[in-house]
C-alpha cells in the first residue's frame, strides 16, 4: 500500500487494518464474541437445552453421590456431566456462571474506567493542589491490600443491611463486588490518563481553545478526551479479565457470589473435593475461565499494538 493511500485513511481505519492482520487478536475477538453470545443467550440456551441450572438429577448418582456413567456422567443429555452430590447439570451452570462473571467484570470495568478517566483528566489538566490530592488518594488506594480489604469489607457491608441468618440477595452481592472493584480499579486508569493529559495540556489545540474562551468542561471532555481514547480502550480491555479472575477468587473464598447462584469461583471451590474421584467437574469450569481470561488478554495486547501509531501499517 502506497504512502498516499495510507495518508488518506483515518487513524481509526489504520488501527482496524492493523488489528485485522493480527490473527491472534482476531481469533481472541471471535472467542470473546462466542462467550458473550453464550452469556447473553443463557435463558434461550436453557430453553433449547431443556435443563435448568438448579435442576437436580439425583437418580443419576450412585450411592456415594457420584455421577453414573463415563467421565462424571457425560452423555448426550448432559454435555459436561453432572455435579457430584447434587446432580446438577454442569454445562448449563457454566453458561449462567459465565453470565454472572462477565456482567460483574464489564460493569466494574465501566465504573472504574469512568472514575479513572474523570479524575485523571482533572488532575492532569488542573495540576496544583487538586493534582496533589488526587495523587495522594491514588497512592492510598494502591497501598491497601485488595484481598484483605475485600475479606473485611464485603461481609461487613452484608451484615450492615442483613442479619446473620438472613439470605443476602444475589443482586446485593453483585453490587458490593462492583463497589469493591471500583475502590481499587480506577487508580491505574487515572494515572495513565493523568500522564497523557500532562503531555497534551500545553499543545497548540488546547491553547487555541483557551484563546477562544472555551470553558473547563469543553477543554476537558471535548478537546482532551478524544485524544485519550486509545489508551482508555486498551486499559478497559485489560481490566475486564482481571475482574473476571478477581470475582472468581472472591467467590472461591466464599465472600463473592454464593450458592445457589451459578458462578465459576464457587464451582471450582466445590469441585476441589472431587478432584481425584471426578476430575471432569473441575476441568470444564477451570478450562473455560482460563480460555475467557486468555482471550481478553490476547485481544487487549492486539488492540494495544493496533492503536500504536508507531507499529507497522
Asked if the model's pLDDT at residue 155 lies above 60, the reply is yes
Could you please state the CATH topology (level 3) that the domain comprising 10-307 is classified under.
MetI-like fold (1.10.3720)
What is the grid cell recorded at 229? 481514547
CA distance 220 to 229: 13
pTM above 0.85, yes or no: yes
Tens digit of each residue's pLDDT (9 = 90 or more) over 92-131: 999 999 999 999 999 999 999 999 999 999 999 888 899 8
What are the residue ranges spanned by the domains of the chain? 10-307
Percent of the chain with pLDDT over 90: 28
DSSP, collapsed to helix, strand or coil, labels residue 278 as coil
CA distance 281 to 41: 23
**Mean pLDDT, to the nearest integer, of 33-45?**
93
Tens digit of each residue's pLDDT (9 = 90 or more) over 4-19: 444 446 666 777 788 8
Helices marked H in 41-169: 42-49, 90-126, 128-143, 146-161
Asked if the model's pLDDT at residue 1 lies above 60, the reply is no
The confidence score (pLDDT) of residue 110 equals 94
Asked if the model's pLDDT at residue 71 lies above 90, the reply is no
Q: Which are the contacts of 78, defined by CB distance < 8 A and separation ≥ 6? A: 51, 57, 60, 89, 90, 91
CA distance 233 to 65: 47
Average pLDDT score over the chain: 85
CA distance 302 to 313: 14
Tens digit of each residue's pLDDT (9 = 90 or more) over 257-289: 888 888 888 888 888 888 888 888 888 888 999
**Mean pLDDT, to the nearest integer, of 291-296?**
91
Amino acid at each position: 500500500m502506497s504512502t498516499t493511500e495510507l495518508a488518506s485513511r483515518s487513524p481509526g481505519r489504520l488501527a482496524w487494518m492493523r488489528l485485522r492482520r493480527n490473527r491472534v487478536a482476531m481469533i481472541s475477538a471471535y472467542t470473546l464474541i462466542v462467550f458473550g453470545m453464550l452469556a447473553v443467550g443463557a435463558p434461550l440456551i436453557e430453553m433449547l437445552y431443556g435443563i435448568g441450572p438448579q435442576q437436580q438429577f439425583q437418580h443419576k448418582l450412585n450411592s456415594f453421590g457420584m455421577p453414573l456413567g463415563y467421565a462424571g456422567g457425560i452423555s448426550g443429555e448432559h454435555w459436561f456431566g453432572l455435579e457430584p452430590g447434587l446432580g446438577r447439570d454442569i454445562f448449563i451452570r457454566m453458561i449462567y456462571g459465565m453470565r454472572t462473571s462477565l456482567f460483574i467484570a464489564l460493569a466494574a470495568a465501566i465504573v472504574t474506567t469512568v472514575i479513572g478517566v474523570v479524575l485523571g483528566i482533572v488532575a492532569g489538566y488542573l495540576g496544583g493542589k487538586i493534582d496533589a490530592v488526587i495523587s495522594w488518594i491514588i497512592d492510598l488506594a494502591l497501598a491497601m491490600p485488595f484481598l484483605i480489604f475485600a475479606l473485611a469489607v464485603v461481609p461487613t457491608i452484608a451484615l450492615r443491611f442483613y442479619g446473620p441468618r438472613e439470605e443476602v440477595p444475589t443482586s446485593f452481592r453483585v453490587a458490593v463486588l462492583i463497589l469493591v472493584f471500583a475502590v481499587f480499579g480506577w487508580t491505574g486508569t487515572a494515572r495513565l490518563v493523568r500522564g497523557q493529559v500532562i503531555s497534551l495540556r500545553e499543545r497548540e489545540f488546547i491553547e487555541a481553545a483557551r484563546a477562544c474562551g472555551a470553558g473547563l468542561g469543553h477543554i476537558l471532555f471535548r478537546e482532551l478526551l478524544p485524544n485519550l481514547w486509545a489508551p482508555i480502550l486498551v486499559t478497559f480491555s485489560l481490566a475486564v479479565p482481571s475482574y473476571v479472575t478477581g470475582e472468581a477468587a472472591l467467590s472461591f473464598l466464599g465472600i463473592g457470589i454464593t450458592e445457589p447462584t451459578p458462578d465459576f469461583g464457587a464451582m471450582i471451590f466445590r469441585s476441589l473435593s472431587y478432584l481425584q474421584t471426578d476430575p471432569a467437574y473441575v476441568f470444564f469450569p477451570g478450562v473455560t475461565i482460563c480460555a475467557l481470561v486468555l482471550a481478553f488478554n490476547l485481544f487487549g495486547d492486539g488492540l494495544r499494538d493496533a492503536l500504536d501509531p508507531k507499529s507497522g501499517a
